[in-house]
A and B are shown apart, each in its own frame.
Chain A
């Protein structure tokens, strides 16, 4: 999963869905301290989730 100190997309996606163990969680959190790209990925992922969630809710309201 982890190659050349870069957290893989698969592990990050699993982390975002809570499908990781404690060690993997710590590994990702530790990596975020020093990896600014990883921090940006996480930041954008969260913002995008918020966008999509808002969009879905809006569509639900419209369809109701």
Chain B
């Protein structure tokens, strides 16, 4: 089969050719690339599926634009190397963001702590259901026991847990909306 025929079959999503070329013939190539680019173990199938989706996106634009200046095998090799390098760098960037977040969370300064508290109070004021605010305040800030609060509210503990779950959902939604508003400014 010529390169032109392979490209046409891939664009047409011919199952047999796709399986044979992309998932069988190129397997040693992709294995070697992944091994060189990542210095830790990765999920081969997941990564190669992502590469395939990348190749097929926008109605297989990349395949359609191929000009046959090299063999398809050489081209796929370069394309896959660039794709996996970018994926690796994106993953590293994500890890850095998470680390920064964790560091901030673990070592709050007095300023950030008081600022976080002020933010929480502001969000409480924005919550439409004040009963929910009461539940969160008593359980999470004043450290009341659930039985104590349930008794004070005249409800069962099970019912209190349901209310607490809905209260947290409302707090989260208010926080998300607040972030959107903040980003608009």
A-to-B contact residues, CB < 8 Å? 9-14, 16-17, 19-20, 37, 40-41, 44-45, 47-48, 51-52, 55
Contacts and interface: CB of A to CB of B under 8 A. Distances in A.
Interface string B29-57: 10011001100000000000000000000
Given A14-B70, A41-B78, A44-B33, 16 more contacts: A10-B65, A10-B66, A10-B67, A11-B69, A13-B75, A14-B69, A17-B74, A19-B70, A41-B85, A45-B81, A47-B32, A48-B29, A48-B32, A51-B32, A52-B28, A52-B32
Contacts of A17: 70-71, 74
Interface of B: 28-29, 32-33, 36-37, 65-67, 69-71, 74-75, 77-79, 81-82, 85
A10 B77 contact: no
Contact of B36 (A13, A19, A47): A47
